[in-house]
Structure 1
Amino acid sequence: MKFIFCLIVSMACFTSLSQESNSLKDALKNPDQTTSLKVNCPDDEKLIRVVQLKNLNQLYIKDCSLKNVPSKLGELTKLTLLNVENNNLESLPDGLQTLNNLAVLNLRGNDFKQLPQVLGKLPALRELDLADNPMLDLDMAMDVLLSIENLDFLYLSQNRLESLPDRLADLKALQELHLTGNPNLDLNKAFDILSKMATLKILVLEDNEISTIPVGLQQMKQLDGLVLDKNSTLKIDDLASRLENLPELKVLLLRNNGIEKLPENLNGFQHLAVLELSGNRFSEDEKQRIKENLKDTVVKF
């Protein structure tokens, strides 16, 4: 149930508590004690000085218009998390292949057209955020993605996707996939591929202008969590009929969908552990009806 907990509480599933510093200057005063650092847009010379922090586990270099990541960062061999979101990166240096403990890599909001080959040389990499890289050629990226043996979290949100590569189904370890904010995605073809992903436990389809869930959802019987927030045209009756065929589904998020009423027959919701319905338009009577009929489900309004 680890992934379900992460889904409800936080997406930063691998982030741990550590001694954190927001100043490189302060961190360098106690280099052996600093394990987490948020760097405020350093120049190249200052950024290279980060490698003096040999016990660094987490490094954040966000919103800095950064165009290059220094190869020297490969010396931070204890690094488990690297966040370089919202920069201007198009590549990563091969020198990062020495980051043998790197489990989480956030490349969100950059300018990647192709994925760096070095990603396939990071043996501990499990979570990769590629959201908001609209120029990324996902078909060409599959060779690199398939070389990441332990990849189980993948974020492809806000990437202007119209289709998913067939080879996405070959990601044999993948357990959580985020496809938020891709309203032009062909869901019928997408579910043909998603239904073949036997290890996928959590699927996030928030803000995708979904009206009807394809029948392919019924084939995803291993699914634990499904996120359908911010899909205001979603047909709830059709969804409910699909849910009856997903006995392992434990968490369903339907927040901010403008829903006024659930179907009279709530059989499709009976097996859920958590049903999130906040941000909708239920009357108090309807809320009471739902709670009375789903007594074994934690329902949140």
Structure 2
Amino acid sequence: MSRRGGRQPFNPRAGFQRTNNNKEDDGKGVSNVILKQARSSGQLNLSNRSLATVPQSVWNINIDVPPEAKNVSLDNQDERWWDQTDLVKLILASNKLEELSNDIQQLPALTVLDVHDNKLTSLPTAIGELRNLQRLNISHNCLTELPSQISQLHDLLFLHVQHNKISVLQDGLGDLNHLENLDVSNNQLRDLPESIGSLRKLKSLNASENQLLLVPSTIGNLKGVRMLELSSNRLTSLPEEMGYMSSLEQLHVKFNKITSLPPFTKCKDLKELHAGNNNISELSVELLQSLSSLNVLDLRDNKITTIPEDLIKVTTLTRLNIANNNVSSLPYKLGNLTSLRSMVLDGNPLRSIRRDIVNRGTMELMKYLRSRIEETPEDAPDSSSASDPSSVIGRTEAVAGKTLDYSNKKSGTIPVSLWEPAKESGVTAVNFSKNMLTQVPENLILLHKTVVDVNLSVNKIPALPVEMQMMVNITRLDLGSNGLSTIPAVFETMTGMRELVISYNRFTKIPEVVFTWSNLENLLANDNQIGEIDLTGLKRLTKISTLDLQNNDIGEVPPELGTVTSLRSLLLAGNRFRNPRPAILNKGTVALLAYLRDRIPT
């Protein structure tokens, strides 16, 4: 029937509204061309367009009749508007939006909604209708609360609400049982809801820069969390239950008022503990015994008076920062921490060690501590055969617990008698440090199927053999204190590398092959001759967490280094650049990265 009058018959396209179809642009920054592309791809990016409101055509994108529908013909198969794709990704970031319409419920297929960097003061209740939503970024707005309807988004994986004015998180947050990444940093939170312990799939939680007075004991239920950031709050203690977070790898609690640390009983994977700028006065034996995998321990700016001898049980420790405490002496046995590459002691009233020794650097200090260890009868071997690798006892002592340890022997070769037992035992770690090796032992390749940790530090090795490319399972390689200046490009096969130590060598730049190791987390390259920071290469290392470039020849720090947000520890002191100044460097990594970002030219 005619549309001019009378009752119209059923129209299968009823619900499509024809608005602005004759216009190329709706007057609000969204052209029909863009909308057409969005209907085809299912993605619409309207970021940085100075939008004060979201055009109605965006909310109606899946229900309006598009302009191309007017030209439908059997001869024109390119305009298949009826095959349009539901919008699944909507980006409205960096605009001037003060509100979102409840018409957002007309986009039920959305999986990604990004409205960060706007002026939103609230969210529509209809946001709870977006049941397919997986990523929600509402950071950098003016929100004072989250609507309770957020708890209905059961498929949500990422929720970023940092840099708002939120003071309370509802208990309904615990209903987001698929959530993996939660960032509520830089708000006004005084506590976290008890229900946060229900987020069993959470892997990363950032609640830094708030006003938290305590952490709920239910946090111990977060068995999947790997990174926990609680820095810059008002915490005076941490719950004992935090020790049950069995997957925890990084814990940041800097700039609080914490007086003691709980033992991390079941945190067997904890690699970095950053607890600087607190009121910690002592380190308990229970705490140190629980840190079996720790690489980085940052306790600067506390009130510690004594470093317990039990610290030597943390055999994996590579970096120790106890600057600005009240430590007057160090246990000499600390010199036996063979993996330690950086120890910062500035600002302590050390009396037992001369200042000139401290100023020589970590390696010389460690050497001094070892020289002061008094040998006792129980330290001496029971018989000569115990140190003889050709004897049964000697081989058993060298090859034990999946480790081949022939370190500190001042030897130029590795005894042939050790290789076969090592291969049969399937050793995973090799330690040849503190010898006089002038080349990598050829037989090391025999262990390429099982070895993941190789320590060749403190030798006289000038080059690495290309045959080492066969050792594809290596995750940690320590080449510190040798005569190296390059790493062969063929080492790109070592894709599982997570930690590389090349300190105290002759490198003038970070080897190109290092930037192919996408899993690299820790790179210690201090005390070389590196002249510049390869920003392009570093950005390829998406998991880089620790970068030590101290005491090199770097003349300039690119501001864009501040965008490498995965960094948790950035050390640049002892180079020839003038900016950032030492005062900025001493404020820590978070402040340094923020300083650099603020200086990125626009």
Bigger mean CA deviation after superposition, 151-160 or 264-273? 264-273
Give per-residue Cα distances to partners, 1:147-204, cap 9 Å, x unaligned: 3232332112112455544444343332211123345524453565642545765656
Structure 1 counterpart of 2:159: 82
Shift in Å, 1:120: 1.4
Structure 2 counterpart of 1:134: 211
**Structure 1-normalised TM-score?**
0.63
**Partner Cα separation in structure 2 for residue 98 and residue 205 of structure 1:** 35
Q: In the superposition, relative to structure 1, how do residues 106 and 192 fare at CA in structure 2: closer, same or farther (>3 Å)?
A: farther
Of residues 214, 219, 225, the one that matches 2:307 is: 214
Structure 2 counterpart of 1:175: 249
> Is 1:20–1:37's contact at 8 Å kept on the other side of the alignment?
yes
- 2:162 aligned with 1:92: no
Structure 1 counterpart of 2:414: none
- 2:69 aligned with 1:22: no
Q: In the superposition, relative to structure 1, how do residues 153 and 100 fare at CA in structure 2: closer, same or farther (>3 Å)?
A: same
Shift in Å, 1:103: 1.0
Structure 2 counterpart of 1:145: 219
Structure 1 counterpart of 2:361, which letter? L
1:218 partner SS:
helix
Structure 1 counterpart of 2:228, which letter? L
**Partner Cα separation in structure 2 for residue 202 and residue 127 of structure 1:** 19
Structure 1 counterpart of 2:179, which letter? L
Bigger mean CA deviation after superposition, 192-201 or 34-43? 192-201
Structure 2 counterpart of 1:9: none
Shift in Å, 1:131: 1.4
Structure 2 counterpart of 1:42: 120
Structure 2 counterpart of 1:111: 188
Shift in Å, 1:34: 4.9
**Partner Cα separation in structure 2 for residue 109 and residue 240 of structure 1:** 42
2:205 partner SS:
strand
Shift in Å, 1:228: 4.7
Give per-residue Cα distances to partners, 1:82-127, cap 9 Å, x unaligned: 1222333333223333322101111222333332022112221122
> Is 1:201–1:222's contact at 8 Å kept on the other side of the alignment?
yes
Give per-residue Cα distances to partners, 1:25-76, cap 9 Å, x unaligned: 8x989763652513424343x4434445444332222243423211211232
Of residues 128, 132, 136, the one that matches 1:59 is: 136
Q: In the superposition, relative to structure 1, how do residues 178 and 234 fare at CA in structure 2: closer, same or farther (>3 Å)?
A: farther
Structure 2 counterpart of 1:127, which letter? S
1:105 partner SS:
strand
Q: In the superposition, relative to structure 1, how do residues 101 and 267 fare at CA in structure 2: closer, same or farther (>3 Å)?
A: same
Structure 2 counterpart of 1:159, which letter? N
> Is 2:136–2:159's contact at 8 Å kept on the other side of the alignment?
yes
> Is 2:301–2:325's contact at 8 Å kept on the other side of the alignment?
no
Structure 2 counterpart of 1:279, which letter? L
Bigger mean CA deviation after superposition, 271-280 or 70-79? 271-280
- Unpaired runs of 5+ residues, structure 1, are 1-17, 284-301
**Partner Cα separation in structure 1 for residue 157 and residue 331 of structure 2:** 39
Q: In the superposition, relative to structure 1, how do residues 135 and 75 fare at CA in structure 2: closer, same or farther (>3 Å)?
A: closer
Structure 1 counterpart of 2:417: none
Which structure has more RCO (C-alpha within 8 Å, separation ≥ 6)? 1
Q: In the superposition, relative to structure 1, how do residues 166 and 243 fare at CA in structure 2: closer, same or farther (>3 Å)?
A: farther
RMSD: 4.6
How many percent identity over aligned positions? 22
Give per-residue Cα distances to partners, 1:246-268, cap 9 Å, x unaligned: 64x7x9698xx9x9742453868
- 2:364 aligned with 1:265: yes
Give per-residue Cα distances to partners, 1:204-246, cap 9 Å, x unaligned: 63874689883354333455x75859x57899x9699747426
Of residues 280, 284, 287, the one that matches 2:573 is: 280
> Is 1:169–1:196's contact at 8 Å kept on the other side of the alignment?
no
**Partner Cα separation in structure 2 for residue 240 and residue 131 of structure 1:** 37
**Partner Cα separation in structure 2 for residue 72 and residue 60 of structure 1:** 16
**Partner Cα separation in structure 1 for residue 184 and residue 362 of structure 2:** 41
Bigger mean CA deviation after superposition, 96-105 or 85-94? 85-94
Q: In the superposition, relative to structure 1, how do residues 198 and 61 fare at CA in structure 2: closer, same or farther (>3 Å)?
A: same
**Partner Cα separation in structure 2 for residue 191 and residue 42 of structure 1:** 47
> Is 2:226–2:249's contact at 8 Å kept on the other side of the alignment?
yes
> Is 1:151–1:174's contact at 8 Å kept on the other side of the alignment?
yes
Bigger mean CA deviation after superposition, 212-221 or 167-176? 212-221
Q: In the superposition, relative to structure 1, how do residues 149 and 212 fare at CA in structure 2: closer, same or farther (>3 Å)?
A: same
Number of matched pairs: 256
Structure 2 counterpart of 1:145, which letter? I
**Partner Cα separation in structure 2 for residue 83 and residue 239 of structure 1:** 45
**Counterparts in 2 of 1:147-296, with a 5 A limit?**
147-161=221-235, 163-182=237-256, 184-190=277-283, 192=285, 194-198=287-291, 201=294, 203=296, 205=298, 208=301, 214-215=307-308, 217-221=311-315, 226=319, 228=321, 242=334, 244-245=336-337, 247=339, 261-263=360-362, 265=364, 270=457, 271=478, 273=501, 274-275=523-524, 276=548, 277=550, 278-281=571-574
Structure 1 counterpart of 2:231, which letter? S
Structure 2 counterpart of 1:22, which letter? L
Q: In the superposition, relative to structure 1, how do residues 192 and 66 fare at CA in structure 2: closer, same or farther (>3 Å)?
A: farther
> Is 1:260–1:280's contact at 8 Å kept on the other side of the alignment?
no
Structure 1 counterpart of 2:230, which letter? L
**Partner Cα separation in structure 2 for residue 129 and residue 77 of structure 1:** 20
Q: In the superposition, relative to structure 1, how do residues 53 and 214 fare at CA in structure 2: closer, same or farther (>3 Å)?
A: farther
Structure 2 counterpart of 1:32: 109
**Partner Cα separation in structure 2 for residue 161 and residue 98 of structure 1:** 26
> Is 2:282–2:306's contact at 8 Å kept on the other side of the alignment?
no
**Partner Cα separation in structure 1 for residue 90 and residue 336 of structure 2:** 46
**Partner Cα separation in structure 2 for residue 29 and residue 136 of structure 1:** 41
> Is 1:218–1:246's contact at 8 Å kept on the other side of the alignment?
no
